[in-house]
Every structure is written in C-alpha cells, then in structure tokens.
Structure 1
Amino acid sequence: MAENNKENFLNEKVIPFFNRISSARHMVALRDGMTAAVPMIIIGSLFMIVGQFPVKGYLDFMTHIFGPNWANVVQYVTNASFNIMGLIAVAGISYSLAKSYRDIDPFSAMIVAIAAFILTIPLQVGKDGGLLIPLKQFDSSGLFTALLVGLFVTDLYVWLMHKNLVFKMPDTVPPAVSNSFAALFPGAISLFVVWLIRIGVEATPMKSIPNVITFFLQDPMSKVTNTLGGALVIELVICILWFFGIHGANAISGIIDPIMYAALAANAAAMKAHQPLPNIITKTFFDNFVHIGGCGATLGFVILMTFVAKDQEMKALGKLSIAPAFFNINEPVIFGVPIVLNYRIIIPFILAPMANIIATYFAMKMGWVAKTIGIYPPWTTPPFLSGILATGHISGGIMQLFNIVMDTIIYYGFFKSMDRAKLKVEQKATD
C-alpha cells in the first residue's frame, strides 16, 4: 500500500512538475541550443583521439613519418570545433528562444546575443598592439556565460521589440533589410546594458565576467585538502557545475590542481626514496579512477545507451559516443543526451563518481589496490591500461573495471526510465 502511494505521488506530482519545467520555453531553448554543438563535439573528439592516442609506439611512428608537429596539425580540427562550444551555445539558445516568440526574427536576435557574449570577454593586447579575443572563452570555459547571455539578452531584445522600439522601413524594402534595421534600437540597448554590467564587474575584485564563478569558488575550494571528505566535496562541486552547463573541472582546476599535483609529487618522491606512499587523493586518482569516461563517470551510461537502449535516438548517440568515452571524452553525451539541466540523470551523474571515490579510496587504504605512484598517464588513456600505469600494478586496472561495473549499475535504473520516456515519444511520433 505504501509502495503504491509512493508511486502515485511520483506519477501524479513529481514527474508532471519536472515535465512542466523541462517543457518550459527557456528550458527547451537551452536544450536545443546546446544540442546544436553536438556534431562539432563528435568531430573534434575523433580528431582528438588521433592526435592524443596514448600508445608510445604509435606516437613515435607518427612523429617519424609526419614530423614533431604532427599532433598539433591534426588537432587544428579539434581546436576549431571544441573551442567554439560556448559560441555555438549562445547562438543556438538565442535563436531557439527568439523563434518561440511571435513576430521576432530569430536571426537578428541571435546576432545581438553573439555580440553581447563577445562583449563579456576581456580582450588581450597582442605584441603588435592589436586586440585579441582569448579563444578559451569561446569553449566550455565560457559556457555558463553563454547560457546566461543567450537567455537574458534574447529576452531583453524580445521585450524591447514588443515595445515597438524599432526602426521601421517602408513596405517596399526587402524583409532581410527590414529585419536588420528593426534590430537597430533593441540591439543597441541590449548591448548597452551588457556593457554597463561589464564595467560594473570590472570595478570589483572579480575584474571580468568570466571570473565571477572562479572568484566565488576560490576561497572555499582552496581550503579543501586531499582527504576523502575533501575529494567528495570537490566532486560534488564539479558535478553541480556541469549540471548548469559549466565545465566543472576547468572551473576549479586552478585552485585544486596545485594541491593534487603536489600530492602526486610527494608520492613520486616517497617511491624514489623507497618509503610508503603518503597520499591516496592525487591528480591521477581523480583522472583515472573517478572520472572514468569523463566527468560524471559516464562510461557506464554510454555502454547502456549503446547496447541496452531501445529508443533509436539513445542507441544512435551511444554508438557515436562509445569510442570517445573509452578515451575519457564525454562532451557528446553531456550535450547530446543532454545531461546539462536534465533532472532525469543528475542523481547518477553525481552518485557514480562519488561511489568511485569511496570504493577506490578504501581499496587503496586497505592495501588491496596500489596507490598512484607519481606517473601521470595522458588523460585520454583508456581504462584498465591507465589504472596499471597510474599505480604501477595490475590492481589499478582491476579497480577501474570494478568501478565501471558499479557505475553501470548506478546508472541503470535512471537510464531505463529515460529510455522508456524517449521510446514513448518516439512511438507517438510514428503513430
């Protein structure tokens, strides 16, 4: 009876509530806007694997054939695709949101949003005195700013358009020209507002809009040490930031990485001196035992999508994502499912890496698994191999396999719920 009441409560109250949220105008715009980046992410992932394939013999062979700069040349495509995720997101979100309103030209709104996004980025002065835009702000590092700008500026632009603050052209003027001039006053006012916000932020210790998140995280994160509790806090912050479209690992890397690398260096020094390794929580601990398949430990989820999904969309995305996932590249899943702002998947997205931390920590503490020895395998090294390299022992690889199985089990129930929901939508569309 109690179980039935619980199920009725979920079906009648909780699920409809989240369904209303997910179908809201702005949530749909966020989903559709970020989905626009998926093809570029998949293309960039494939070229990244080619340029960073973690086998020394392969790298030496490619260097011998194509020269020492070959990897940089290959990854021109990766840079051109991965490094514009924020730019694609702001364009896609703005276009989708503007299109949902009546009598609004979405293309004009998108152009204004792109200009506003670039306006938030602090420019750098080149050697020749010219102004340079840091490309890093166009990638996932600037994604949160892109989400806010895409929504806020577009809504402001639409509101101004509905107030008839437009420059009207004669009816004989072609629509493309008329729409461009109609955007003149709303676009100018929108950019003026963003400009004022930027000036206000620059007058604070944060110095620039992209620094706002890092500024508020810096003090609390700098106090977290390499303990089990600290590792869990770090991972919770990373996952929550990713849920809101912020690259969590990048956002706190400047604060946490020095601590993690120092712990790894201490292990390397202890090993060289033939002393017990002092630290469990290190940089390689996170990269190789926690983020298996990428942040959120999504390899298990991708395996389910590829081999278990009944919904054709999920299965197709799984097949496209499985190869990058084995090299710890999970942007195709993050933005393709999407995981960002997806209430159906946020719980396992947090629980899976948390479980990896706890299981690996106690296995290493009990001496069942070797600690990380100071070697830092490339982050694209596939599981099992990276575990062996990171610990210098096969127990590291076995621990990774255990974590993958555990992650798959954690994701399974939530995956099945999502798969069923998507399958119903697919079947309705074909009826």
Structure 2
Amino acid sequence: MSNKSNFLDKMTNWFEKWVGPIAEFTNTNIYLTSISDAFTMQMPLIIVGSFALLLNIFICSGTGLAKYESLAWLANYGTVFSTINYACISCMALWSCVLIAYSLGKKKGLKPEFCAVLSAVCFLILTNQENIGGNLGASALFLSFFVGILSICLYGKLMSYEKIKIKMDASVPPMIASSFNSLIPVAITLLLFGLIAGVLYGTTQMYLNDIVYKVIQVPFNQVVGSQLGVSIIIILSQLLWWMGIHGHMAMNVVAKPVRQAAIAANMQAVAAGLLPTQWYTLAYVHTFTNLGGGGVVISLAIAILLFSKRSDRKDITKVSMIPLICGISEPMVFGLPIMLNPIYIIPFVLTPVICGNIGYYALVSGFLTPSYVESIPGMPMFIQQFLAYSGQWQAIVLTVLVIVIGVIIYTLFVLIDNAQAKKENQ
C-alpha cells in the first residue's frame, strides 16, 4: 500500500507542477475566459445556423426535395434558410467580438451592453468598407478576439481618468449624464482604431483583418488543428480530467476557435457546392475523443459491467450509464473514481488518443466526410453522430468501432483493478 501511495503522490505532484498551472491560467485569466464565454453564448446560433444549411440542402437545393418536378417551387424559398445561415455563421466574428466585449466589460465593472456596442463599432472600423458583409465570418475570428479585448481595455483605462469626463448638472437625467460622461473616452477609443485602420491601409494597402488572418490565424489553426496538435490537446485534456479539472473546458480556450473556424469553413464549402475539408470539428470530438464523456468512458463502463468482479464498481457504473450515453462522464470520473486513480490513468489518456487518430485517418481518407453541421452537446450517442455527420452511415459504424476499441483497451485495466481489489481484501 505504501508503494502505491508513494507512486500516486509522485504522479499527483508532477501533474500539479507542470499541468496544473496551464489549467489555472486558462480558468482565471479574464481575457481567455471572456473568449471562452463568447463561444459558449454563441453556441445556439452556431447550431441553428448549421441546421439551416442542412435544411436548405435537403429541401430547397437541386439535390434535395426541389429536384422533383412537383416540388420544384421549393427552390424559390431557399433564402428562408440561407439568410439564417448567413446571419448566424457568416457573421460569426462580429458576434464573437460583441460577446467578448460584453463578458470582459462585465468582469471589469463597466456597462457590458455599451461595451458590446463599442467593440462592434471598433471592429467595423477595421474592416474593409467595400466588402463588410464578406469580412464578418470565420476569417476575421482572431481579429474579433483582439478588438473585443483591446477596445474594452482602452475604454476602461480612459474611463478611469476623471479629468477627461464631461460632468453634467445633477438635474440632468442619469442616462444622458452617463452618455456625456463617457463621450471623450469613446471618442478617443474610436479615433485610435480609426488611425490604426487608416495608417495601416495607407502604408500597406491591406486591411488589418487580412493581415491578422494571414499572419496569425492561418498558422495558428494549422498548428492547433493538425494531427499532432489535436493529439497534444487530447493528452492535456485527459491529464487535467484525471486531476479533477474539467479538461475539455480548460483546453477549449485554444481548441474552440479552431473548431469554430473549421465548421464555418465547411459550411461555406458546402454552400458553394464543394466538399467540406476541415476535419477538426465538435462532431469529431463527440465521435472520437469524448464519446460517452471525456476519455471515451462509455467503453470503461461496458468493460466494468462485463468483466469487473467489484460490486461497488458495477453499482456506480449502472447509475452512470444514462449520463454517459448523453456524453456526461462526471459520475464515473468522480464517483468510480477515475480521478487520481493510478490504475486508470493510462487507458484514460490512451483510448481517446488512439480513437482520435483513427477518426483523423477516417476523415482525411474520405471514408467519412467532415461535418458541416454543429454537433449538439448532451444529445444521446448515435443520434448525435448521425445528425452531426449529415446522416452518413459511416458515422454510426465508426461510433461502434470507437466503443469496441475502448472496451478492448479498458478491459485489461479492469482486470488489473480486480486483482488489486483481491490483494487488498486478502
């Protein structure tokens, strides 16, 4: 028992020293959490926008119901869905900027509603005025991060200087007094963003969103969204989970912008009559790395029910099955527990890495076409994968394959757990 305890203490100390600070930084930094909050608040728009595209294809396109002569009139009403898709997906960067500023302004004690409007104006100032509608989507996501944060930081700093505020008489209504109070800080903020846009275009003949996209966003997406980058994210996420920290949420600060850009790019490709090519989407996560919760824990649950000789393990697993089917693994992680359990750390990390790489090859080889419909968190498995991958039977086959591979990997460690329990009882 002492050797096991020493081993566990050493592993825990190592993770707390090297991995813990990553989670602490991402979970406490107000700028990173504001970006994460923005994507969380925007999730309903992404889901509705992606399903609008799917309905447009199945109902109003030449390959859907409109291809039949008796239903050809449906093609005239494609804008019912395409306008929803445009407003939700093709304006993604604008809404991200607004929501980041709202969240950050709230954290800084400013008026969040006004912060949201101010950041939107700053964002539009930096955008190509001749093609505003084409520069509000995924290609401007990173610009929206910078503008949402910098505009509010600058405005908040200026608002701290009492000397530049216009003071109104006490008889003036509070709303009007507040507007004049912030007039000079707002004017300075907008003027500085105007100078940045004007000087930059005057010297380079390029708009800032184009520069940010080419210099920062594309390289970042290529690195994080690569096979190696995603594998590293999976490993770090699982290690954090093992320490009792929600690894998926902690790593979302890095991974979510890449996935949102990917799903938006896939929607644009499908709308243009092309095949989607970006494989790292939320559907990929829900199918290959977080099936039945982080660590593909649904496979561990099945392995325990089949092979475990411990009644306590089986009782907890039976209670956890319905949440696991809906992708909620906390009952197993904290109840079994998997957290800080040295027996299960290896399969808990290894299973999603192996299954994630299987998913990568299935998607890049063309066996499964990448998703262009946002996956809905909390939906029962199989239904979730079937819808997210637009009704492809391959998604169901791969879901079963992931579960089977996970059961094979976890079974060895369930047997080790049996042997360990037998020794402890003796």
Common fold: TM-score over 0.5: yes
Compute the RMSD of aligned alpha carbons: 5.4
From 95, 119, 140, the counterpart of 2:125: 119
2: CA distance, partners of 1:10 / 1:61: 60
Flag the 1:248–1:82 CA change in 2: closer, same or farther, 3 A: closer
- In the alignment, what sits opposite 2:91? 84
After superposition, the C-alpha distances for 1:287-309 in whole angstroms (9 at most, x for unaligned) are 6xx45764x54434565259969
The equivalences for 1:340-419 within 5 A come to 354-358=357-361, 400-401=398-399, 405=403
From 19, 23, 37, the counterpart of 2:42: 37
> What letter is aligned with 1:198?
A
Flag the 1:232–1:43 CA change in 2: closer, same or farther, 3 A: closer
From 304, 308, 316, the counterpart of 2:292: 304
Indicate yes or no: 2:118 matched with 1:106.
no
- In the alignment, what sits opposite 1:48? 53
Query: 1:182: how far off?
Result: 1.8
- In the alignment, what sits opposite 1:212? 211
1: CA distance, partners of 2:351 / 2:177: 49
After superposition, the C-alpha distances for 1:395-429 in whole angstroms (9 at most, x for unaligned) are x77974577559989xx9xxxxxxxxxxxxxxxxx
Give the SS at the match of 2:75.
Answer: coil
Query: 1:157: how far off?
Result: 0.4
Query: 1:203: how far off?
Result: 4.2
Give the SS at the match of 1:75.
Answer: helix
- In the alignment, what sits opposite 2:168? 169
Query: 1:59: how far off?
Result: 4.8
Greater mean deviation of Cα atoms: 1-10 or 62-71: 62-71
Give the SS at the match of 1:36.
Answer: helix
2: CA distance, partners of 1:177 / 1:58: 55
The equivalences for 1:248-327 within 5 A come to 248-249=261-262, 286=277, 290-291=279-280, 294=283, 296-300=284-288, 303-304=291-292
- In the alignment, what sits opposite 2:77? 70
After superposition, the C-alpha distances for 1:372-417 in whole angstroms (9 at most, x for unaligned) are 7xx9999569979999x99xxx9x77974577559989xx9xxxxx
Kept in 1: contact 2:50–2:373 (CA 8 A): no
> What letter is aligned with 1:146?
S
Give the SS at the match of 2:78.
Answer: helix
2: CA distance, partners of 1:356 / 1:62: 39
Indicate yes or no: 2:23 matched with 1:18.
yes
Flag the 1:197–1:377 CA change in 2: closer, same or farther, 3 A: closer
The structure number with the bigger radius of gyration is 2
After superposition, the C-alpha distances for 1:197-250 in whole angstroms (9 at most, x for unaligned) are 2234324557111112443379989xx9xxxxx975898999999637255448
> What letter is aligned with 2:41?
A
Query: 1:64: how far off?
Result: 0.9
> What letter is aligned with 1:149?
V
Identity in percent: 20
Flag the 1:116–1:385 CA change in 2: closer, same or farther, 3 A: closer
Flag the 1:360–1:147 CA change in 2: closer, same or farther, 3 A: closer
Flag the 1:15–1:400 CA change in 2: closer, same or farther, 3 A: same
The equivalences for 1:179-258 within 5 A come to 179-203=178-202, 205=204, 207-216=206-215, 232=227, 243=255, 245=257, 247-249=260-262
Query: 1:79: how far off?
Result: 2.1
Greater mean deviation of Cα atoms: 398-407 or 144-153: 398-407
Query: 1:48: how far off?
Result: 2.6
How many residues are treated as equivalent by the alignment? 323
2: CA distance, partners of 1:98 / 1:211: 27
- In the alignment, what sits opposite 1:156? 154
> What letter is aligned with 2:181?
A
TM-score of the superposition, structure 2-length normalised? 0.57
Query: Where in structure 1 are there 5+ consecutive unaligned residues?
Result: 125-131, 225-229, 265-282, 320-346, 365-370, 413-431
Give the SS at the match of 1:118.
Answer: helix
1: CA distance, partners of 2:99 / 2:116: 8
TM-score of the superposition, structure 1-length normalised? 0.57
